[in-house]
Amino acid sequence: MNRQSGDSRTSNPAANLKTVTGKILEIMYLPGDSPDTGMVDLRIQTSAGPGLVRLAPSGFLKHGGLRVQEGDSVTFKVFTVTGMAGDVMVATEIQRKGTELRLRGSSGEPLW
């Protein structure tokens, strides 16, 4: 029996990147040890429906010069992970109005 689902690529979800464009519906700041270490998640609306995107700690986004607000159109390179709360798109890169910020490396490791 030949099973494709046991493929080694599943150990690196970042190997399956896709590009997603959407409009920011809500910005959520998750708690951290300090204001700059809390993660930032975005609820977005795409042509396929609503979704949740995990970005990076707020301090990393500020240092990278990325400013987003509700209503902005953004483009992401993401990989999807499934958890108890459902699917989350983990961004490796975000683009907004000509500004681009890399958040994770090729294997999904954080750059902060």
Q: pLDDT tens digit string along 42-71?
A: 999 999 999 999 999 999 999 999 889 999
Pick the CATH number of 16-102 from 1.10.287.70, 2.40.50.1010, 3.40.50.300, 3.40.50.150: 2.40.50.1010
Residue ranges covered by each domain of the chain: 16-102
Average model confidence (pLDDT) across the chain: 89
- Give the ranges where the chain is alpha helix by DSSP (H): 58-63
- With 0-12 CB in 10 A as exposed, 13-18 as middle and 19+ as buried, what is 61? buried
Rounded CA separation 31/55 (Å):
14
Instruction: Evaluate whether 60 touches 103 at the Cβ level (below 8 Å).
Output: yes
Q: With 0.95 as the threshold, say if the pTM is over it.
A: no
Residue 10 phi/psi, 5-degree rounding, is -70, -20
